[in-house]
């Protein structure tokens, strides 16, 4: 079943549209990866789900984000709840989030123990002894020593330790969905691997559903179940891990894959030419056409492609997806 259903999500910052008609289903127990370059709208999508968009943001009137309870009896449109209802019914209880920068998560004047107590208190859990007991258990789950970490202040922890504490904090109220926004940003390669292995283990133990946001397809190859590729606020491709890695049909997806080194394969890494577009003056037609090596003049630069299913569970927005599928990475290696 779908735990989360995003329908026609459109978001403006002032007069600039950041997300356009985004439709995504998040199935129970899966790891859905949202991938794209910086500025593609990934974090805006996450913040829309968590109702933490900046005040300047405006959500489309026909946009819907449905949360389906596990027993199927309750279907809530998250965008129709007022702030108090969302905080009480959904945030942290059903959906929690680990942000990019742990420096933005922690108050430098509070120790870790107080962070957990205050988080629980803000959701009407006031039994400090039970909260500390649960916190200690969660810290052990993320391979941290509670006797040391609970009394520590954020500046006394390494980047990897802070990231693990933020994961434990996101698990405090037993959510069903956890959003992970670039959870390994600014960490070294070995620590990245430790965090991803830890996330896989936690998902299995707690029966979680993940929405994982990243710009690095190679990093999530062994944790993803399904991948949504975003570019300039629109979905370019949506499919299973096998579809995206072995049958990519969009030149942008192929470009992202082309920049990932493969173990045991010696080849030149080819970057996608150009830069992501300026939202204030997006190109006509396909937003990727100015950077696309197989763009069709008079079609791609004029008509915006619609997201079309090319196989069960695999959708692509591209006028020339058949050629992209046939040529694969070769379209960037002339």
pLDDT digits 0-9 by tens, 78-113: 999 999 889 888 999 999 999 877 767 899 999 999
Distance from C-alpha of 229 to C-alpha of 102, rounded to nearest angstrom: 25
Q: Strand 209-214 vs strand 31-35: parallel, antiparallel, or unpaired? A: parallel
Q: pLDDT per residue over 47-58, tens digit each? A: 999 999 999 999
**3-state secondary structure at position 3:** strand
Q: Place 225 in a pLDDT band, splitting at 50, 70 and 90.
A: very high
Angle at which helices 128-141 and 159-170 cross, to 10°: 130
pLDDT value at residue 61: 94
- The percent of residues in the chain predicted with pLDDT above 70, rounded, is 96
Q: What is the mean pLDDT of the chain?
A: 91
Question: For residue 194, how far is the Cα from the chain centroid?
Answer: 19
Contact assessment for residue 57 and residue 11, using Cβ atoms and an 8 Å cutoff = yes
What does the H/E/C string look like for 228-271?
A: EEEECCEEEEEEEHHHHHHCCCCHHHHHHHHCCCCCCCCCCCCC
Name the CA dihedral angle for 153, 159, 165, 167, rounded to a multiple of 10 degrees: 150
pLDDT exceeds 60 at position 72? no
Question: For residue 239, how far is the Cα from the chain centroid?
Answer: 15
Give the CATH H-level superfamily of domain 2-224. P-loop containing nucleotide triphosphate hydrolases (3.40.50.300)
Q: Place 1 in a pLDDT band, splitting at 50, 70 and 90.
A: confident
**Which has the closest alpha carbon to 322: 216, 250, 241, 217?**
250
pLDDT exceeds 70 at position 14? yes
Q: Identify which has the larger pLDDT, 35 or 189.
A: 35
Q: Is the pTM higher than 0.85?
A: yes
Q: Identify which has the larger pLDDT, 89 or 320.
A: 320
Pick from 20-34, 85-99, 133-147: least confident: 85-99
Q: DSSP secondary structure string, 79-148?
A: GGS-HHHHHHHTBTTTEEEE-S-GGGTS-TTS-HHHHHHHHHHTTT---HHHHHHHHHHHHHHTT--HHH
Largest CA distance in the chain: 67
pLDDT value at residue 126: 86
Q: Place 160 in a pLDDT band, splitting at 50, 70 and 90.
A: confident
pLDDT value at residue 204: 92
**Which has the closest alpha carbon to 230: 9, 52, 74?**
9
pLDDT value at residue 76: 86
Q: Identify which has the larger pLDDT, 232 or 71.
A: 232
pLDDT value at residue 264: 60
Exposed e or buried b per residue across 192-223, where buried means at least 16 C-beta atoms within 10 angstroms of its C-beta: bebbbebbeebbeeeebbbbbbbbebebbeeb
How many residues are there in the chain?
Answer: 334
Pick from 68-72, 219-223, 243-247, 290-294: least confident: 68-72
Q: Place 267 in a pLDDT band, splitting at 50, 70 and 90.
A: low
Would you kindly state where each structural domain of the chain is located, as residue ranges? 2-224, 250-332
pLDDT value at residue 263: 62
Q: Average pLDDT, stretch 211-223?
A: 87
């Amino acid at each position: 079943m779908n735990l989360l259903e995003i329908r026609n999500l459109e978001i403006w910052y002032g007069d600039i549209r950041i997300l356009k008609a985004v439709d995504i289903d998040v199935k129970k127990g899966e790891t859905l990866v949202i991938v794209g370059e910086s500025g593609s709208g990934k974090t805006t999508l996450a913040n829309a789900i968590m109702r933490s968009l900046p005040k300047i943001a405006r959500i489309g009137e026909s946009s819907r984000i449905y949360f389906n309870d596990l027993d199927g009896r309750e279907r809530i449109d998250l965008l129709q709840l007022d702030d108090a209802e969302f905080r009480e019914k959904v945030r942290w209880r059903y959906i929690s989030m680990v942000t990019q920068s742990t420096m933005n998560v922690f108050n430098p004047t509070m120790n870790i123990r107080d962070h957990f107590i205050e988080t629980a208190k803000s959701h009407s859990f006031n039994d400090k002894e039970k909260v500390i007991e649960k916190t200690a258990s969660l810290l052990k789950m993320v391979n941290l020593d509670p006797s040391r970490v609970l009394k520590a202040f954020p500046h006394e922890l390494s980047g990897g330790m802070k990231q693990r504490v933020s994961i434990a904090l996101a698990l405090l109220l037993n959510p069903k969905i956890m959003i992970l926004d670039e959870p390994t940003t600014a960490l070294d390669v070995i620590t990245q691997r430790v965090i991803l292995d830890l996330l896989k283990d936690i998902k299995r133990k707690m029966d979680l559903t993940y929405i994982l946001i990243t710009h690095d397809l190679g990093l999530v190859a062994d944790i993803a179940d399904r991948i949504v590729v975003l570019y300039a606020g629109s979905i370019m491709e949506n499919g299973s891990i096998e579809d995206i890695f072995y049958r990519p049909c969009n030149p942008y997806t192929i470009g992202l894959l082309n920049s990932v080194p493969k173990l045991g394969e010696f080849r030149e890494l080819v970057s996608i030419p150009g830069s992501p577009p300026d939202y204030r003056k997006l190109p006509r037609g396909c937003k990727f056409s100015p950077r696309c090596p197989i763009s069709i003049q008079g079609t791609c630069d004029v008509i915006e492609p619609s997201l079309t299913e090319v196989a069960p569970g695999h959708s692509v927005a591209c006028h020339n997806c058949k050629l992209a599928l046939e040529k694969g990475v070769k379209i960037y290696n002339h």
